[in-house]
Structure 1
Amino acid sequence: MSNLYSTTARAVAGLMVCLLLAACDKPVQATYSDAATAFHPSDECHVCGMIIDGFPGPKGEVVERSGIKKFCSTAEMIGWWLQPENHHGEARLYVHDMGRSPWNAPNDSHLIDAKDAFYVVGTQLKGAMGVVLASFSSQQAAEKLAAEQGGRVLRFSEIDQAVLQQQTAMSHSTH
């Protein structure tokens, strides 16, 4: 009986030591940044699943505590964002500033706050599937593109599903 008691006591003591050691360990703090992140060649669009790197024009991303969602175009991101279930208080939305970036290879060091950007809709510029919304940090740069390529300048708050659908219908009718 004392052998069983001794074995049980050692097992309980060992378990207590393990629990004490685990309790003394400092919890790992997950680092969170709401800053924009670079796009990588293997990134897939959160909406359509296509590889983002293969398309010209500005891209978009949503940065949240739960992770980063990347989109093959500004229109895909805004269309996703317009769905009420996707609104999260801490989310930050970013798009490429095409006033400082080449159209065919947007520069990730020029990602800007999507809600502050100016957008040109209705151009014949090529991008990912559907609508092309050229994004700019400067109203002057957006107006210059609209004057050169056609289209009109909108703010983020002016873009809704009707704008996205209207532009899609226009782009399909020209092909």
Structure 2
Amino acid sequence: MKYTLKYLIILLSTLTLVSCSEHSAKKQSIHEAVAIEAADECHLCGMLISEFPGPKGELFKNGISQDEGNKVHKFCSTRDMFSFYLDPENKRNITTILVHDMSKSPWNNPNDEYFIDARSAWFVTGSTQKGAMGATLASFSTKTDAQAFADEFNGHVLAFNEITLATLMPAH
């Protein structure tokens, strides 16, 4: 009886840990990037995404209903993507955030093969390089590449968590 109770407690503890781990893994899942097609419109401003230079963004949002599932929202610039993401109503439902790695992609025509996880990316604000509707945040997979871009085109290097709505406002 003593050993049976001990094994039962170990079994229940193991099941609880596995269940928690699976829940945590689902919440942190990374989605694959979805190619930006010629007719795709920015989720925030409605402009055609492919008509503009600079890095683009994609957010995957948990659906409110089962019909919606995991939805992808595409953005014509990282600035528009952050404007949407930083709204507290949206932020809590986002599962994955992807941006172009501009160290591997040409500025005037970003390549969808080079999307990276935005939460681990580095961003340059205030550069002379323009995206859709002007100022945007250049995105890079490494801080070294971001700093090299900032040295060449001006600007400041920031980590994902350092970006706020105030960061998105153009300097006057």
TM-score (norm: length of structure 2):
0.75
Map of 1:35 onto structure 2: 32
Higher helix share: 1
Deviations for 1:38-69, whole angstroms, at most 9, x for unmatched residues? 11101000000000000000000012343110
Structure 2 counterparts to residues 64-103 of structure 1, below 5 A: 64=61, 65-89=69-93, 91-103=95-107
Map of 2:21 onto structure 1: none
Map of 2:5 onto structure 1: none
Structure 1: 5+ residue stretches without partners: 1-32, 171-175
Provide the aligned length of Structure 1 versus Structure 2. Answer: 137
SS in 1 for 2:43: coil
One-letter amino acid of the structure 2 residue matched with residue 98 of structure 1: M
Structure 2: 5+ residue stretches without partners: 1-29, 62-68
Residue 139 of structure 1 pairs with residue 143 of structure 2: yes
TM-score (norm: length of structure 1):
0.74
Deviations for 1:21-44, whole angstroms, at most 9, x for unmatched residues? xxxxxxxxxxxx822111110100
Aligned-residue offset at 1:91: 1.6
Map of 2:24 onto structure 1: none
Q: CA RMSD in A?
A: 1.6
Map of 1:63 onto structure 2: 60
SS in 2 for 1:164: coil
One-letter amino acid of the structure 2 residue matched with residue 51 of structure 1: L
Higher strand share: 2
Residue 51 of structure 1 pairs with residue 48 of structure 2: yes
Q: Which runs of 4+ in 1 moved over 6 A?
A: none
**Structure of higher CA gyration radius:** 1
One-letter amino acid of the structure 2 residue matched with residue 169 of structure 1: A
One-letter amino acid of the structure 1 residue matched with residue 119 of structure 2: K
Aligned-residue offset at 1:123: 0.9
Asked if the contact 1:123–1:149 (Cα under 8 Å) also holds between the matched residues in 2, the reply is yes
Identity of aligned residues (%): 49
Asked if the contact 2:126–2:171 (Cα under 8 Å) also holds between the matched residues in 1, the reply is no
Deviations for 1:68-98, whole angstroms, at most 9, x for unmatched residues? 1000000100111000110245520000000
Which among 147, 150, 158 is matched to residue 162 of structure 2? 158
